Amino acid sequence: MSQPVALYRKYRSKSFDELIGQDHITTTLKNALKKGSISHAYLFTGPHGVGKTSTARIFAHAINDIEFQDEGTQYLDIIEIDAASNRRIEEIRNLRETIHVAPSQLKYKVYIIDEVHMLTKEAFNALLKTLEEPPAHAVFILATTEAHKLPATIISRTQRHSFKPINTKEAIEHIHAVAKQEDITIDSEAAQIVAEQGKGSFRDILSLLDQAAHSSGKNINKQSILDMLGLLAVESIQQLVDAIEANDTHAAFSVLEDFYEQGTTAQSVAAQLIQYWRQQMRSQPASVNPAAVDAMMKVQISHSPEIALELAMVNLTIDTPVRSAPAVSQQPRPSPQPTKPAPSIVRSKTKTPPTTKPKPAGDQPEPSTQAAKSKTLPSQPLESYDIDLATDWPRVIEKARNKSHSLFSSLRQSTASMQDNILVLAFRFPLHLKKVRQSSVSKDFEAVLTEVFGGLVPYETVLADKKIPSQKTSQKEDRPASLKKVTDILGGDVIELGA
């Protein structure tokens, strides 16, 4: 029984024609072979996984007029050196001592030095001596992902070829080609995600395809890829963007809580928001807030990404950004030593409901009144139905999970009850109420109800009443509005140190 081989190794290019997206390089090398004008040193630069080492092996065989079979076929005159493992001057000195020996089998003795930027300064100096006066039978092919780390004297003595990342279109075409040969079924949306996550590296793309095939049993769809990579659907990111644009801090934190429960990290949320806004900038540049993009970039490099992301949500959803609370003025007090003013500290309380101001009697009615209700009566209602929410509602939630992520995340923020034989859904936040009332989402919900109960039952969607919790009267009326906004959102008391 043959040993399994990773897809990126199995489909490693074995000829110039099989190299993907590097026509500008393969054309030059093939023309050099036709003319017989072989340089003594080549430098292949570019990101990892784009074919530098494969091209070096193919070219090393081509200049010796032999066909490259696979990496298992070796010749004494084609020497591969991993500079990461052989970076000391001793290895390069050994190379200098043996390079003048004529080839034993082939026309040229070819030295392929991978990750050449890892050589020490002394090793570079020794290599430079060889590149300055190479024997006629020796050819060097240097490969690196970090050309800026190479001495200019080395670069100037080589013929440089810059490899570029594979574009998404080419990547998708080859994903489908490899999937077909491997008996893997993958839909177009899943292939698009794999291509984008590979970031131009064909090796990474095939590794992701290999992983997805093992994870999904060779039947790969969009959701299986998202689950495997811990990514969020576009609809989920849209929910967070909607909350930010609506300046709804509560809804933004609710969506973040859903993301965390799904196992999505703060860095991943920030990266996907950046990607979302990047796509939006291409069609509507003026609609993207540069400060929001900058905030997400800072989240990715923060030592406390969750705190950075949550603070960014507060700053993006309130009128006055929260930087830091101003220092409280020091009150005179008898003390042998003077003390420094200390800043106000907000201490959050566990699960404290947000504080809201009561409306005057003449204001508009509460959201839970008739104006905030949406009652749906089916054209052909069930003649009779017996709903046990304790057992039936979890089934509705599970069906919604598979039906639509927008519906699922919205229903999770609601409370279901039966009132006068009508299913009443009370939503915590206006964002989710608005979402579930959208035509596409409501159709999905009605389809779920029909599937669970065998027919559509009457239902209402309302905004839950918000109770006004007791709040201690602040002794400092001149505190900044931004600080008060934070305490309203997060709950807690302001403790003044040093007062």
Confidence at 262, pLDDT banded by 50, 70, 90: confident
Does one domain contain both 261 and 392? no
Domain CATH for 209: 1.10.8.60
Q: Do residues 134 and 109 make contact, with C-beta atoms less than 8 angstroms apart?
A: no
Residue 477 lies in a domain: no
Does one domain contain both 443 and 389? yes
Record the pTM: 0.61
3-state secondary structure of 140: strand
Residue 192 lies in a domain: yes
Residue 245 predicted with pLDDT over 90? no
Residue 289 predicted with pLDDT over 60? yes
Does one domain contain both 191 and 97? no
Residue 357 predicted with pLDDT over 50? no
- Of all residues in the chain, the percent with pLDDT exceeding 70 is 78
Calpha distance 21→171 (Å, rounded) = 9
Q: What is the pLDDT of residue 491?
A: 59
Calpha distance 154→459 (Å, rounded) = 75
Q: Which domain holds residue 111?
A: 7-162
Cβ neighbours of 410 (radius 10 Å) = 27
Average pLDDT, the chain: 80
- The pLDDT tens digits of the residues spanning 440-449 come to 888 888 888 8
Calpha distance 435→246 (Å, rounded) = 13
Residue that the structure tokens 């100037």 belong to: 156
Does one domain contain both 408 and 285? no
Residue 268 predicted with pLDDT over 80? yes
Residue 473 lies in a domain: no
Does one domain contain both 11 and 134? yes
Calpha distance 117→144 (Å, rounded) = 6
Residue 18 predicted with pLDDT over 70? yes
Does one domain contain both 252 and 210? no
Confidence at 217, pLDDT banded by 50, 70, 90: confident
Q: What is the pLDDT of residue 344?
A: 39
Does one domain contain both 58 and 176? no
Q: For the CA atoms of the chain, what is the radius of gyration?
A: 32
Q: Do residues 127 and 119 make contact, with C-beta atoms less than 8 angstroms apart?
A: yes
Higher pLDDT, 264 or 285: 264
Residue at 142: amino acid letter: L
Residue 122 lies in a domain: yes
Domains: count for the chain:
4
Q: Please identify, among 147, 162, 177, the residue that sits at the C-terminal boundary of a domain.
A: 162
Conformational region of residue 80, where left means phi above 0, alpha means psi within -120 to 50, and beta covers everything else: beta
Domain CATH for 403: 3.30.300
Beta bridge partners of 111: 79, 140
Residue 414 lies in a domain: yes
Does one domain contain both 17 and 99? yes
Q: Do residues 127 and 153 make contact, with C-beta atoms less than 8 angstroms apart?
A: no
Does one domain contain both 375 and 448? yes
- The pLDDT tens digits of the residues spanning 142-182 come to 999 999 999 999 999 999 999 999 999 999 999 999 999 99
Mean pLDDT of 415-422: 85
Does one domain contain both 137 and 50? yes
Confidence at 291, pLDDT banded by 50, 70, 90: confident
Residue 45 predicted with pLDDT over 90? yes
Residue 328 lies in a domain: no
Closest among 267, 262, 199, 212 to 236, alpha carbons compared: 262
Residue 238 lies in a domain: yes
Nearby residues of 428 by Cβ (< 8 Å), 6 or more positions away: 250, 254, 413, 414, 415, 464
The helix or strand, by DSSP H or E, that contains position 109, with its residue range, turns out to be strand 109-114
Does one domain contain both 18 and 152? yes
- The pLDDT tens digits of the residues spanning 368-390 come to 444 444 444 444 555 556 778 88
Q: In what order do the strands lie in the sheet with 374-376?
A: 374-376, 459-463, 422-427, 414-419
Does one domain contain both 29 and 154? yes
- The pLDDT tens digits of the residues spanning 452-484 come to 888 888 888 888 864 434 444 444 455 566 666
Here the tokens at position 368 are: 């839970």
Confidence at 350, pLDDT banded by 50, 70, 90: very low
